[in-house]
């Protein structure tokens, strides 16, 4: 079984800082593709917060500040890949799901690779900056404590 990232909330701030907050427990990816052609002028208010620190939930397509590493089944991976490919068709102008599938697969594999060396409940935070050549991402990893994340955060089962 591989691992992936799930949306969690440590407090209610995501409900206030993102236009569309991610749903607790949904699977998530970086989602930097959304900002690939943005300019500094577009980075204001809630859009700036989504750009600077938001993971992309793969059901709501909302943003979340934190994700936690969790096991995922191959069936779930396949479902996420198709949903993301459909999102590319519906919202980004991909001509067909068949054309979008390879790009969606790459996004999903990237997230799996990012999670593979971390124990379940490891928290991840993304920080983005807009550079002349595109979007730069840095990831911060927060290892779980002995008490376990389940004691204070909900992120699905």
In a domain, 157, yes or no: no
Q: How confident is the model at residue 151 (pLDDT cuts 50, 70, 90)?
A: very low
pTM for this structure?
Answer: 0.88
Residue 152's pLDDT is 45
Distance CA 26, CA 101 (A): 20
pLDDT digits 0-9 by tens, 125-139: 999 998 888 889 999
Residue 147's pLDDT is 41
Cβ–Cβ under 8 Å, residues 58 and 22 = no
- Total number of domains constituting the chain: 1
In a domain, 132, yes or no: yes
Label residues 54-77 b or e (16+ Cβ within 10 Å = b). Answer: bbbbbeebbbbbbbbbbebeeeeb
Report the chain's mean pLDDT, rounded to a whole number: 90
Query: Tokens for 65?
Result: 């500040």
In a domain, 156, yes or no: no
- What residues make up the domain containing 21? 2-151
In a domain, 141, yes or no: yes
Range from 33-42, 62-71, 119-128 carrying the lowest mean pLDDT: 33-42
The closest alpha carbon to 30, from 67, 56, 64, belongs to 56
- Which positions ≥6 away from 112 have C-beta within 8 Å? 2, 3, 4, 72, 77
In a domain, 31, yes or no: yes
Query: Tokens for 40?
Result: 């500094």
In a domain, 63, yes or no: yes
Distance CA 85, CA 11 (A): 31
Q: Match 């001509």 to its residue by tokens.
A: 95
In a domain, 103, yes or no: yes
């Amino acid at each position: 079984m591989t691992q992936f990232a799930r949306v969690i909330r440590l407090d209610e701030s995501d409900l206030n800082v993102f236009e569309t907050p991610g749903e607790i427990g949904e699977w998530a990816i970086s989602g930097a593709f959304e900002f690939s052609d943005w300019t500094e002028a577009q980075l204001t208010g809630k859009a700036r917060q989504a750009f600077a620190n938001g993971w992309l939930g793969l059901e709501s397509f909302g943003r979340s500040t934190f994700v936690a590493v969790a096991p995922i089944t191959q069936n779930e991976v396949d479902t996420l890949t198709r949903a993301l490919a459909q999102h590319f068709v519906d919202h980004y102008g991909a001509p067909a799901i068949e054309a979008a599938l390879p790009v969606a697969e790459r996004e999903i594999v990237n997230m799996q690779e990012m999670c593979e060396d971390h124990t379940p409940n490891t928290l991840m935070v993304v920080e983005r900056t807009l550079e002349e050549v595109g979007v730069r991402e840095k990831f911060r990893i927060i290892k779980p404590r002995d008490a376990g994340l389940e004691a204070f955060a909900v992120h699905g089962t």
